[in-house]
Chain A
Amino acid sequence: MTTRDLVLIALFTAIIVVLGLIPPVTLGFIPVPITAQSMGVMLAGCIIGAKRGALAYVLLVLLVAIGLPVLSGGRGGLAIIQGPTGGFVLGWIVATFVTGLIAERLVKEGQSEVRQFAGFFIASVIGGIGVLYAIGMPWVTAVTGTPLSAVATGSLAFIPGDIVKAVIATLAARAVLAGYPLLHARA
């Protein structure tokens, strides 16, 4: 790993921390407010790729574990990881990796804009929503004993917001790819 990769990883972790300081937005038709920080998984995967993106999240999870209030709302500490939603926190690492892997395969520089949008959107939905819930929901069930079907039903409330996030992340990732491409500069 070059020094530049190390710096990119750390800077992206810092961006994710800052996204947690931005006030959440409520959209009329969606029950849960959208925090900018929860777009981090999709953004990291689509912008700095699988390996660096996942390492940026390893760094973020370590910051949470050592008790820095880096998550939105000033949350942090070991209790977050040990609690019922710990699976989502650890799942971020894998979800970012998968998002990055798909984005690296599907999106190439010099493709038409539409194909790039489609690639980033597919990567964000599969990695940032599919993989994340596939890890987070069984964890909730294992920790609390709540039946998986109930957890899945409850999670449905978050899906519309997640789709909006995938759209925003797609547009942002495409803008960064056009302005300052990093995805394929290999780690």
Chain B
Amino acid sequence: MLNGLNIEGTTPLHRMSVRMKLAILLVCGLALYAVSSFFVLVPAFVIAAVIYFTTGLAFREAVSRLKPILFTILILLIATAYLTSIREAAESFFRLMAIVLFAGAVTATTATGAFIDEITRLLQPLDRLGLVRAADVGLAFGLVLRFVPDIFNHYQSIREAHRARGLKVRPLTILAPLIILTLKDADTIAMAIDARGFRRPRERLR
């Protein structure tokens, strides 16, 4: 149900470390906002497009992922062109598309597990300060992925129950039973986690 948006491959971007990719994305993103020259923005856009379309993503899939965001960008920029200047709207278009395409390329070339490992590693300094437990983040990710299909089944059975009683399926009548049904398992799940000792007491970590 929840497959990542990444695809397997051996391109340079696939082989680069997650931290490196995120750093490049951040630096390029900020740098592009500092320039307004077409001599920089257009080549950046072209390079990002080439990178995005050579990640190994099927062309059709690559285009369909861009559609919703492209739609938002176009609507906003048509308004901008009308209210300020066409030049400014064109600058924004190339800048935004360059960033969005590169971000899409990073997403397409980075496995979910690699991201989670990197987040855990980036949280280590905070863990040492006692602010967060880095291991909790991985556990929380795991819990979400584990329970989404279960909760979707809850939703389907509540919907069937509505139909069986001839009720219309409305968000209002679905939400409360869905949320109560899901959250009342929290105690049992928490006990199961503690019984297995997944979260060691902090003293023993030191």
Contact = CB atoms under 8 A, between A and B. Distances in A.
Interface of A: 1-4, 6-15, 17-18, 21-22, 25, 34, 36, 39, 43, 47-48, 59, 62-63, 65-70, 73, 75-85, 140, 143-147, 150-151, 154, 168, 171-172, 175-176, 179-180, 182
B161 interface: no
Interface in B77-106: 77, 79-80, 83-84, 88-89, 91-92, 96, 99-101, 103-104, 106
Contact of A150 (B83, B91, B174, B194): B83
A180 B171 contact: no
A75 B68 contact: yes
Interface in B138-171: 139-141, 143-144, 147-148, 151-152, 155, 170-171
Interface of B: 2-6, 25, 29, 65, 68-69, 72-73, 76-77, 79-80, 83-84, 88-89, 91-92, 96, 99-101, 103-104, 106-108, 110, 112, 115-116, 119, 136-137, 139-141, 143-144, 147-148, 151-152, 155, 170-172, 174-176, 178-180, 182-187, 189-190, 193-194, 199
B4 A66 contact: yes
13 contacts: A11-B143, A11-B189, A62-B119, A66-B110, A76-B107, A78-B107, A82-B100, A82-B103, A143-B92, A144-B80, A145-B92, A175-B180, A179-B176
10 tightest A-B contacts by CB?
Answer: A10-B143, A175-B176, A66-B115, A77-B107, A78-B103, A172-B175, A67-B107, A79-B103, A4-B190, A67-B5
Nearest to B100: A79
Q: B84, B151, B152, B193: which has the most chain A beta carbons within 10 Å?
A: B151
B144 A10 contact: yes
A25 B171 CA distance: 8
Contacts of A171: 172, 176
Contacts of A12: 183
Given A11-B183, A17-B148, A65 B115 contact: yes
A167 B88 CA distance: 40
Contact of B175 (A78, A82, A168): A168
Contacts of B96: 83-84, 143-144
A77 B187 CA distance: 32
Contacts of A140: 76
Contact of A3 (B72, B137, B170, B194): B194
Contact of B143 (A14, A21, A67): A14
A96 to B, nearest CB: 15
